[in-house]
Chain A
Amino acid sequence: MKEAKKNSYWRIDTHVHCRDWGESYKATIGSVVRLALSKGIGAVFDMPNTDPPILGLRDAEKRLRRAEDQGVLKNYYLYIAATPNEKQLEDAVRAYEELPRVVGLKLYTAPMKGLEALSLEEQEVVYRTLSSLGYRGVLAIHCEKHSLFRETLWDPLKPYTWNLARPPEAEVKCIEDQISLAKKHGFKGTLYIVHISTKEGVEIVRRARNEGIRIVCGVTPHHIIYDTDHMRTPESVVLKTNPPIRDPTTARALLGLAIEGAVDFLETDHAPHSPQEKTGPPYLSGNRSLEIYEIAVNMLIRSGASEKTIYMLTRGNAESIFKKLDGID
């Protein structure tokens, strides 16, 4: 019985940022994997917005060698970035097919360091190309529609204003866009809406799934533990993240949706920065959420999540949705 394995199985974190390379001063693959292991997480899936970004087979091989050098290859998996460049996408799909440790592709709709925000037309190129390449793996998507941002509302002395600057509707509209594009181009893979932060977003995912679209989503510890009431002092700027921490009603709703099984993964989006980058310009977004992972698990349990739900959120769904994970215990 899987339920009987509580506390005896390694968990899977489908979304971390190990940094390393040009950002080794923030964290390394080794430091992030070891932190994950201390939290009972035996496999981390690293995102490709590294410095430089992970764009194809060679980058992935270099990254895996780096993990091996640091003695943590056994616990390390990664995504390749998806850009609106047909050659790059061909290379990314090849990496996915040839390297067992590549778990999927990642599409950024909002600007990320080293990766530009993609317009809707550029996103369409990604879907059209991946469909024509017959890609059937996971396409993880950071959903925030850039054109709906209101950056003039950001005030670092009132950190809750990040939620005004990057409003919930930017996420909701972007999720709708992805579903439309996937339908239009007959995308055969699985859409994975990472770090979902709105109740409406989860409802859209649920409706699409009921229509037969292959789509999943994950929620982070920080989006269920924190809300905008925690971001009223200047010091709380350390909680600034993308998508933003939402209002208290939304945080409670996300917790409830995770418990009822409408969310597929508890993913940390662990995204370390230096204290200087977090507390002064440029006030970088990202939380060290591996450190609050257990708090989130306990919060879910206290709020009524069954052992089976915890298992599915922290391992079971990842095993069934991603390709067979090479080497996982």
Chain B
Amino acid sequence: MEKVGSTSPGWYDGFRGRDVISARDFSREDYEALFRYADLYEEDPGFYRGLLKDCIAALVFVEPSTRTFHSFETAARILGCGVTAIRDPSMSSIAKGESLHDTIKMIESYGASIIILRHPARGAALYAAEISRVPVINAGDGSREHPTQAMLDLYTIARKRGGIDGLRIAFLGDLRFSRTVSSLSYALSSFKDIEIFYIAPPILQIRREVKIYLDDRGVEYKEIIDMDKAREILRSVDVLYVTRLQKERFPDPSEYEKLKGAYTVGPEILSIMRSDAGIMHPLPRVDELSPELDSKPNAWYFDQARWGLNVRVALLSLILR
């Protein structure tokens, strides 16, 4: 397996003290530096042990999470940080109506070095960053963005494929409400010759704000509604990125039932794809990704989740060291 940036890095200052709110805020240089540091986690795990032993990471998760919460918590512990967490808002003053402002200020006053925030409101992370004196990482703000997921997605693609430039990627599923799809789309715009295909029914197509951004950056993209046309495209893509269809988003339940089958990726879809193409998914999956794919080399999604730890270890150290 080829890795990006196998040389031992000199310290990169591009992230120091920064908030991580949007994938739009980072350059190609930033992403590539992050990949080198993520590689280092496997090349020299001892390098990171206790690196941030005087720091405290505050995890404020007002919405459920499995992978993001645990990988951040594990990353912080590997780095030697103290960890403080609000995991269940019903057990904190948030349930009593405490404002986000006061929650952030309180956490900051207890000595947090960084705040990692997941919140259901679009824009909550940006607001938290504006009022916080310590860096804030957006761990998902409603349907808007999930920039650290985009970082680990890019890392996975770069590591599996040997680079990002020239990538042909198809997104399939609920693209409108997927924060991972919008963040990865923004991040991809920092690379060269990217082609994006958004495959979804009109009601779940990619949001206008993402399209405006891609237009401004000159990124090639197409919206695909017809499944026959989609199958044609899937023959040639490097990556198929699948997201869950969210039943509750459909005004007409029969429309969901009709589409559900068409948007399930299984061996039949895999058979028309290139043999070296990868299938990615931010997880959790419901039934849009067949378990029959799990053992195939094209199933990149478990590596994708696993390497989230590499990326988050690297990111925390680059911000806080």
- Other-chain residue from A164, A249, A253 in contact with B124 (beta carbon distance below 8 A): A164
* Cβ-defined contact, A167 with B122, below 8 A: yes
0 or 1 for each of A239-253: is its CB under 8 Å from B? (1 = yes): 000000001010001
B208 within 8 A of A: yes
Q: A153-B124, A154-B99, A249-B212 provided; 7 other pairs, C-beta below 8 A?
A: A153-B127, A155-B99, A164-B123, A164-B124, A167-B121, A167-B142, A199-B208
B131 at the interface (CB under 8 A from A): yes
Nearest chain B residue, comparing its CB with the CB of A203: B203
Q: How far is the CA of A167 from the CA of B121 in the complex (A)?
A: 7
19 contacts between A and B (CB under 8 A): A150-B120, A151-B97, A152-B97, A152-B98, A152-B100, A153-B99, A153-B100, A153-B121, A153-B127, A155-B127, A155-B131, A158-B131, A160-B127, A164-B122, A167-B121, A167-B122, A249-B208, A249-B209, A253-B208
B99: contacting residue among A152, A168, A204, CB under 8 A: A152
B residues in contact with A167, CB < 8 Å: 121-122, 142
B251 lies within 8 A of chain A by Cβ: yes
Of the candidates B98, B101, B121, B142, the one whose C-beta lies within 8 Å of that of A155 is B101
Measured CB to CB, the closest approach of chain A to B98, in angstroms, equals 6
Residues of B near A155 (CB, < 8 A) are: 99-101, 127, 131
Using a CB–CB cutoff of 8 Å, the interface residues on chain B facing chain A are 94, 97-101, 120-124, 127, 130-131, 142, 208-209, 212, 251
- Chain B residue at smallest Cβ distance from A207: B251
CB distance from A235 to the nearest CB of B (A): 16
Bitwise interface map of A from 35 to 54 toward B, beta carbon under 8 Å scored 1, else 0:
00000000000000000000
Q: How far is the CA of A199 from the CA of B251 in the complex (A)?
A: 16
> Cα distance A208–B317 when bound, in Å?
52
A180 nearest CB neighbor, chain B only: B251
The CA-CA distance from A176 to B249 in the complex, in Å, is 11
Q: How far is the CB of B321 from chain A (nearest CB, A)?
A: 30
For the complex, give the distance between the alpha carbons of A249 and B127 in Å: 18
Interface assignment of A163: CB less than 8 Å from any CB of chain B: yes
Task: Report which A residues bind B (CB closer than 8 A).
Answer: 150-155, 158, 160-161, 163-164, 167-168, 176, 199, 204, 207, 228, 247, 249, 253
Closest A residue to B141 by beta carbon equals: A164
Distance in Å from the Cβ of A206 to the closest Cβ of chain B? 12
With contact pairs A152-B94, A152-B100, A153-B99 given, residues A161 and B208 touching in the complex (Cβ less than 8 Å): no
Residue of A nearest to B130 (CB): A158
Main secondary structure of the interface of A (DSSP, over half): helix
Q: How far is the CB of A318 from chain B (nearest CB, A)?
A: 29
Choose among A164, A176, A204, A228 the residue that contacts B121 (Cβ–Cβ < 8 A): A164
- Complex interface: chain B residues within 8 A of A151 (CB): 97
Query: Which chain B residues border A153 with CB–CB below 8 Å?
Result: 99-100, 121, 124, 127
> Are A161 and B97 in contact, with the CB atoms below 8 A?
no
Please, which residues of chain B bring their CB within 8 A of the CB of A164? 121-124, 127
Alpha-carbon separation in the docked complex, A151 to B100 (Å): 9
A168 proximity list for chain B (CB < 8 A): 122
Q: Which residue of A lies closest to B144 (CB)?
A: A247
Q: How far is the CB of A294 from chain B (nearest CB, A)?
A: 28
Q: Max chain A CB contacts within 10 Å: which of B94, B127, B212?
A: B127
Nearest-CB residue, chain A, relative to B128 = A153
B95 (CB) vs chain A CBs: closest residue: A152
Known: A153-B99, A155-B127, A158-B127. A176 touches B251 (CB 8 A): yes
Q: Chain B contacts of A207 at CB under 8 A?
A: 251
The 6 closest A-B pairs by CB, nearest first: A249-B209, A164-B121, A152-B99, A155-B101, A164-B123, A153-B100
What residues of chain A lie closer than 8 Å to B100, measured between beta carbons?
A: 152-153, 155
Q: How near does chain A come to B37, taking the closest CB pair, in angstroms?
A: 33
What is the CA–CA distance of A163 and B212 in the complex, to the nearest angstrom?
21
B212 contacts across to A, CB distance below 8 A:
249
User: Who on chain A is nearest to B123 by CB?
Assistant: A164
Whole-angstrom CA separation of A247 from B99 in the bound complex: 22
The listed residue with most B CB atoms (<10 A of its CB), out of A152, A153, A163, is A152
Which partner residue on chain B sits nearest A164 by CB separation?
Answer: B121
In this complex, what residue of B is CB-closest to A150? B121
Residue from B94, B97, B123, B124 with most neighbouring chain A CB atoms (10 Å)? B123
Contact A161 B98, CB 8 Å, known A153-B121, A249-B209, A253-B208:
no
State the CA gap A176–B251 with chains docked (Å). 8
Q: How far is the CA of A155 from the CA of B105 in the complex (A)?
A: 13
User: Which residues from chain A contact B208 at a C-beta distance below 8 Å?
Assistant: 199, 249, 253
Instruction: Give chain A residues whose Cβ lies under 8 Å from the Cβ of B123.
Output: 160, 163-164, 228, 247
**Nearest Cβ on chain B to A153's Cβ, whole angstroms:** 5
Chain A residues near B97 (CB-CB < 8 A): 151-152
**A176's closest neighbor in chain B, by CB?**
B251
Cα A228 to Cα B100 with chains together (Å): 19
Chain A residues in 8 Å Cβ range of B131: 155, 158
